């Protein structure tokens, strides 16, 4: 994971920081995000990282997962 300059804001959770991920020789920009200092009731997500599963191939317990179709696909 490499820090990205991208930031977004959620009125409920606060500022999101983004992370790019190196896969082999390719740097996939903004593939993950986290809330380093979440607001109020969102405090439990502090220190967690979420991935845009719309943009990667995921296998869970040996089973390939279908990529969801969302605005971030």
What does the pLDDT look like over 39-70, one tens digit per residue? Answer: 998 999 998 999 999 988 999 999 999 999 98
Structure tokens at 25: 């020789």
CA angle 31, 22, 33 (to 5 degrees): 25
Question: Distance of alpha carbon 9 from its chain centroid, rounded?
Answer: 14
User: What is this structure's pTM?
Assistant: 0.81
CA separation, residue 30 to residues 2, 44, 64 (Å): 9, 22, 22
Q: What is the mean pLDDT of residues 25-44?
A: 95
Structure tokens at 39: 């607001």
- In terms of pLDDT, which residue wins out, 73 or 63? 63
């Amino acid at each position: 994971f490499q820090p990205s300059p991208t930031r977004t804001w959620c009125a409920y959770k606060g500022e999101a920081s983004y992370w790019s991920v190196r896969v082999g020789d390719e740097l996939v920009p903004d593939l993950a995000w986290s809330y380093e200092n979440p607001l109020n009731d969102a405090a439990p997500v502090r220190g967690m990282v979420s991935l845009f599963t719309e943009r990667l191939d995921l296998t869970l317990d040996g089973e390939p997962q279908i990529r969801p179709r969302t605005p971030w696909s």
